[in-house]
Structure 1
Amino acid sequence: MLRQRVITGVLLALAFLAAVYFLRLEALAIIFGGVAAAAAWEWSGLSGIKSVPVKVLYTLTYMGLLMATWAALAIGEAPAPDVFQPWLGTACFFWSVVMLMVESYPGTAWIWRSRMSRAVFGLFILTTTWLSTIFLLTMPSGTVLLVLMVLAVALADIGAYFAGRRWGRHKLAIRVSPGKTWEGFWGGVVSVVVLTCVVAYMLPQHMAHLSLVTLILLGLAVAGASVLGDLTVSMVKRESGVKDSGTLLPGHGGLLDRIDGLCAAAPVFGLGLLLAGY
């Protein structure tokens, strides 16, 4: 299983790097929108939707939201970062509320048990995830920023996996995801901090105002958010009575099982860059 996971992960990483470095913003928006639409299809199932026509309608509704967002914010015309800030702030506020829900689970299970709640939350989460990735691409050195964010989330996941297997003893959120441990969490955090220190050392001169402390705080926020995204999807799957969101990716389960950390990390990273004065 680990070998299959690694092979799938490497292929996904190569495809992602090729796309962000060779394609224009419009093409990337369409490709990322297609990926997000596939995730929306999976989320429709997690929402309790069984009918194929209704799942198609849910996915088309999501795609309509993406097109409306692109048009309303005039993203193709390279708007100023301030245009994105209210949306990023709203997404981060939403995730701070979700963090309380995860911490209080199963006391908050009545919210997630509602099919309508899960469906609406899915549309919001996946739309703001797509918007946050597109925002990063509109910034200076946007492709580098996006790759760094994805790398940070991947390292948080990898570090947590191996540290959890080696030292995991104390459960992080046993009612939500019994397999996750505090030791794994800190293993992921340390991995992201190491990446942050390397990035800080390699920063060009015109970014010297971004101090090491600022970058470490941003890295910690991204690492914590990626765990929250993972736990949130785990909570939704628990209420849906399924183990994986789908079977699209060999060794990984569904697409949502791979991008759950990005869903929370993307708006946190984007808003953090704005607040840091990038």
Structure 2
Amino acid sequence: MLKQRILTAVCLLPLALAGLFLLEGGGFALFTGVVVLLAAWEWTNLAALSRLSARLACTAALGLAMVLLWLGGGDRAEGLLWLGAAAWLANLYWVTHYPARQAQWATPARRLAMGLLVLLPCWVGFNSLRASGAEWLLFVLLLVWLADTGAYFAGRAFGRRKLAPAVSPGKSWEGVVGGVVATLALALGYAAWLSLGLSETLCLLVATGVVTLVSVLGDLVESMLKRTRGIKDSGVLLPGHGGVLDRIDSLTAAIPVFALLRVWL
């Protein structure tokens, strides 16, 4: 398993970095669109769709929505970012009330709607951040990685109080604090690198704290859906790593929220 994980990472990491930081405009939108559509394909499984035709149709519908947004100039629409933020508030409610409120979203149609409100704003957020400069896209990618890394080590060392035992028993509040500390250090380093003023630095610190917490929620939402579906991984597209959605679950929350905060601030 470890050998598979390493080989997959070695093969995909250069491709991912090239797509994220060398492509611009339509090429970047296409690259991120393909990633989001692969995640959408896996989401149809989380929504308990079993027929191949239904899964293909739902994935194609999201692809069509992205094409129409691109042609209409709405691929960086702030309104969709706000819609995505509202959806994450609803997801927060469902995660904190799982499984008591499971019936509110458990039907396949509602799970598909949940996926649309997660994945489409994520794609819009990618485009918005890339248009504002590669440094901010790099920042949010590093933020998610450091949040996950800090949470892992802090949770291993100090984890006592469970964060969401009904959804993901391995996560702890101490791990969340470790992730926040790591990402705030990143924000301070970024502020120094970009020579930001005091007010700009404070805004970045606030945004970083919020997005770090939201990235944890992205992970929890996917865990909740997988637990409901009775599966371990969202898919098998990445040998040793599970599915695409397993790798970008935190990003699906962090990207649109950070893009919105950047526009707003």
Which TM-score tier does this pair reach, normalised by the shorter chain?
Answer: over 0.9
- Structure 1 residue 249 corresponds to structure 2 residue 238: yes
Counterpart residue number, 1:88: 81
Gap runs ≥5 in structure 1: 76-82
Look up the match of 1:154: 145
**1:158–1:265: structure 2 CA closer, same or farther, 3 Å change rule?**
same
2:30, 2:40 → 1: CA distance? 15
Aligned-residue identity in percent: 39
* Counterparts of residues 61-140 of structure 1 (less than 5 Å): 61-75=61-75, 84-139=77-132
**1:223-242 matched pairs, under 5 angstroms:** 223-242=212-231
Find the aligned partners of 2:7 and 2:262 in 1 and give their Cα distance.
Answer: 32
Q: Distance in 1 between matches of 2:13 and 2:258?
A: 20
Aligned residues of 2:87 and 2:114 also touching (Cα < 8 A): no
Q: With the length of structure 1 as denominator, give the TM-score of the two structures.
A: 0.89
**Cα distance, 1:198–1:274 mapped onto 2, change above 3 Å:** same
Deviations 1:162-214 (A, max 9, x none): 2222222211000111111112111111111111110011114xx53753221
Give 1:183's aligned residue: 174
Runs of 4+ in 1 over 6 A off after TM superposition: none
Distance 2:140 2:106 in 1: 31
Residues 188, 201 of structure 2: 8 Å contact kept: yes
Aligned match for 2:189, one of 198, 203, 209: 198
Distance 1:169 1:96 in 2: 26
Confirm or deny: 8 A CA contact 1:172 1:180 kept in the other structure.
yes
- Contact 2:87 2:117 survives alignment (8 Å): no
Q: Which residue of 1 aligns with 2:249?
A: 260
- Which secondary structure state, in structure 2, belongs to the residue aligned with residue 160 of structure 1? helix
Correspondence for 2:197 among 180, 198, 208 = 208
SS in 1 for 2:252: helix
Gaps of 5+ in 2: none
Q: Provide TM-score, normalisation by structure 2.
A: 0.93
